[in-house]
Amino acid sequence: MDSIFLTDHEQAYVSEARDFYAREARPHVLAMDREDKYPLDLLKQMGARRYLGVRFPEEYGGGGLDVMHEALINEETGAQAYPLACLRSVPHYCAHVIYYYGAEEQKRKWLPGINRVDLVTAECVTEPTGGSDAARMKTRAVRDGDHYVLEGTKRFQASGALADLFLVFAVTDPDVHPSKGISAFIVEKGDPNLIAMREFDTMGWRGLAIVSELIFDQVRVPAGNRIGEENQGFQYLMDTLNTERILVGSGLLGTARTCFEIAVRYSMEREAFHRPLKNFEAISFKTAEMETRLEAARLLRTKAARMLDLGRNVTKHAAMVKVFCAENAFWVANEALQIMGGIGYTTQADVERHFRDLRGGMVAAGTNEIMRLVTQREIYEEFSNAG
């Protein structure tokens, strides 16, 4: 690969990851989709290569690199299957809160295990009564001596059915605005009052051990498992979401790139009316538009990741990355499927699987509507502040 926007190290890093995934990933991602099988062995291999927690220091089991590298690895992971990129990055969100807001003792206790995949983690935000309006969550955490008692139900947690650690956001002060009364906790598995239900069968994103309900029925959590200050959890969540949106956008971009590559090759080989499909402008113009949209998404993602690495405010850019990558990735997959005709609609073609996965990208980790809500809010704030 050759990119004027990536350093030599970043390009070499991407090449190595491509080689690794080309060798190892395929049987695992097919089993995820077809057998709904959680790819723990592959995740552990990725952990051993430090492909999880890429941006965190090596002393905590991370890769010692930055968000740009983290985004690049998510793109390469997504190129195999978006759900695998999801499982690669969920632990990152949990690690993010612990690393930036946790005590040193908490970092040493949990981060190496999370980054090496000795500990499987789930991020618990969404509830049956709502995901977009996260501030209105209902799960309560009530202090009881040196413990908190958690009561409530979460929904949709990837890895939720088999996690060792749950990053849980819960209301600790119901008498203030919700955004000022939420705290973050690490809940360790083992309490019989923590019940995981798996009743959902999803269109895509299969093999993630997603829960339909994660029930906290008077679950006792040591006060020492609260991360950071009491009632500051919502700010931690908002901060984490910025990185999450850039990583999710990168993963979706990788999946769409694969669809594009498959479709271009197919259009060169497949013939109709005595000529290759690519000779019809109705087909080749699709590939032109696909590449244009992918390149634009890649540049927006790269800018946002670089801004985050420079410590800039990325709230607007992260939301723009998420919605732009999600919509265009799905558009690209749809066009790829069209170029392939009937075979594209069958399970013989990977595009069918990617198409289903990419549809979920417009809902999970913040819907397209919510990303636009965030973007316009930031725009008007910028203009108001400028006077």
Ligand X SMILES: Cc1cc2nc3c(=O)[nH]c(=O)nc-3n(C[C@H](O)[C@H](O)[C@H](O)COP(=O)(O)OP(=O)(O)OC[C@H]3O[C@@H](n4cnc5c(N)ncnc54)[C@H](O)[C@@H]3O)c2cc1C
Q: Which residues bind ligand X (CB under 6 A)?
A: 90, 123-126, 130-132, 156-158, 202, 205, 210, 360, 363-367, 369-370, 373
Q: Is 135 exposed, middle or buried (0-12, 13-18, 19+ CB in 10 A)?
A: middle
CB 68 within 8 A of CB 309: yes
Residue of minimal CB distance from ligand X? 131
Instruction: Compute the least distance from the CB of residue 369 to ligand X, in Å.
Output: 3
CB 244 within 8 A of CB 252: no
Instruction: Compute the least distance from the CB of residue 15 to ligand X, in Å.
Output: 30
Q: Is 358 exposed, middle or buried (0-12, 13-18, 19+ CB in 10 A)?
A: buried
Instruction: Compute the least distance from the CB of residue 28 to ligand X, in Å.
Output: 18
In sequence order, which residues have a C-beta less than 8 Å from that of residue 143 and are 6 or more positions away? Answer: 172, 223
Instruction: Compute the least distance from the CB of residue 19 to ligand X, in Å.
Output: 29
Question: Measuring CA to CA, which residue among 52, 204, 220 is closest to residue 121?
Answer: 52
Q: How far apart are the C-alpha atoms of 257 and 253, rounded to whole Å?
A: 6
Q: Where are the beta strands (DSSP E) in the chain?
A: 121-124, 140-144, 147-154, 165-171, 182-188, 194-197, 213-222, 226-227, 271-272, 275-276
Provide the token pair at 187: 């809940």
156/260 with CB nearer ligand X: 156
Instruction: Compute the least distance from the CB of residue 200 to ligand X, in Å.
Output: 9
Token pair 């990119």: residue = 3
Q: For the chain, how many helices (H) and strands (E)?
A: 12, 10
Long-range contacts of 23-29, Cβ-Cβ distance < 8 Å, separation of 24 or more: 25/80, 25/81, 25/84, 26/80, 28/84, 29/80, 29/81, 29/83, 29/84, 29/207
87/290 with CB nearer ligand X: 87
Give the helix/strand (H/E) hosting 145: none
Instruction: Compute the least distance from the CB of residue 255 to ligand X, in Å.
Output: 14
297/370 with CB nearer ligand X: 370
Give the bridge partners for 142, in sequence order. 149
69/155 with CB nearer ligand X: 155
* Dihedral (Cα; 234, 326, 196, 123), 10-degree rounding: -30
Instruction: Compute the least distance from the CB of residue 131 to ligand X, in Å.
Output: 2
101/156 with CB nearer ligand X: 156
Instruction: Compute the least distance from the CB of residue 159 to ligand X, in Å.
Output: 7
158/340 with CB nearer ligand X: 158
132/346 with CB nearer ligand X: 132
90/297 with CB nearer ligand X: 90
